[in-house]
Amino acid sequence: MPHIARRDRSADGRRLGYRYASSRPVSSRASLQVRSSLFAGTSPGTRVANSDRIWKPSTPNPFTPSERSLIMAAVKSKNTTPEMVVRRLVHRLGYRYRLHVSALPGAPDLVFPRLRKVIFVNGCFWHMHGCGRCRIPTSRRRYWIAKIKRNALRDPRNRRKVNRLGWRVLTVWECQTPSQRREKLCAKINQFLASP
C-alpha cells in the first residue's frame, strides 16, 4: 500500500488533497483516493516528502501505467455515490424499484415498472453536464472530448427510445446530490413519481 506523506491544507485550513509518496504499485482500494494533482506546488526536480519519486516536468503523469490502470478500473458505472443517494431518497419516499434493467435502452439506474417511469443518474464529468464538474483533462484532450461527447450524444437518444416505449424519464445529475441540495432533489423526485 502506498505511503501517504501528509494531507495538505491551505492557509485557512481547507483540505487540498493528498500528496502521493511512494513508487510501489497501488494495491488497496483506499489508496485509490489519491488525486491527480499530486505534485501541485512542487518545483521540478524536487523530491516529495518521504518518497523515492522525483517530479520532473518531462513526466506529465505521476503514475505508472499499472497504477493508472488500477485507478481507472475503480471508476464505477453502477452503485456510484450519486446513485446511492438517489436510491436512499426514493426508498425513504416509500417507492420500490428495479436496478439497471438492461431490457430498456440505456439500462436506466432506477426503474419503476408499475409507474412506467425511470430515473437516470448521470455523473457530470462522464455525461458532459454544463456545471463546473465537467472539466476536460489537459492531457489527451482529443481522446477525452471525443469520449465524453459520445456519451452526451447517446443520452438523449436513449431518453427518446425509452419515451417511445411509453416510459417517463427523469435525469438526476451528480451536482444535484450533495447534502445541501438534497431537500430540493427529494421534492423533484417526489413530484416526478407522484404525478400521473
* Residue 9 shares a structural domain with residue 36: yes
| 148 and 65 part of one domain | no
Distance CA 172, CA 43 (A): 41
- Shared domain for 14 and 107, answered yes or no, is no
Q: Rounded to whole angstroms, how far apart are CA atoms 39 and 187? A: 42
Note whether 113 and 169 are same-domain residues.
yes
Statement to judge: residues 98 and 47 lie in one domain: no
Residue with cell 462522464: 126
* Nearest residue to 157 (alpha-carbon basis) of 106, 100, 122: 106
Q: Which of 57, 73, 89 is the last residue of a domain?
A: 73
- Domain check: are 113 and 189 in the same one? yes
Mean pLDDT of successive 10-residue stretches along the chain, which has 196 residues: 46 48 42 41 48 51 79 78 94 94 93 96 87 81 90 93 96 92 94 92
| CATH (domain of 101) | 3.40.960.10
Domain that holds residue 57: 4-73
Spatial separation of the C-alpha atoms in residues 128 and 146, rounded to whole Å: 11
Can you give the pTM of this predicted structure? 0.63
Q: Based on the domain organization, do 109 and 58 belong to the same domain?
A: no
Domains of the chain: total: 2
What is the side-by-side order of every strand in the sheet holding 98-99?
A: 98-99, 110-112, 117-122, 168-173
Let me know whether 37 and 110 are in one domain.
no
Contact of 122 with 172, CB cutoff 8 Å = yes
Same domain, 135 and 186: yes
- Clarify whether residues 39 and 115 are in a common domain: no
Q: Which of 33, 55, 73 is the last residue of a domain?
A: 73
Q: Are residues 85 and 69 part of one domain? A: no
Contacts of 57 by beta carbon, 8 Å cutoff, 6+ apart: 44
Cell numbers standing for residue 36 = 491527480
Q: Are 26 and 105 in contact (CB under 8 A)?
A: no
Which distant-in-sequence residues (6+ apart) come within 8 Å of 33 by Cβ?
Answer: 18
pLDDT of residue 23: 41
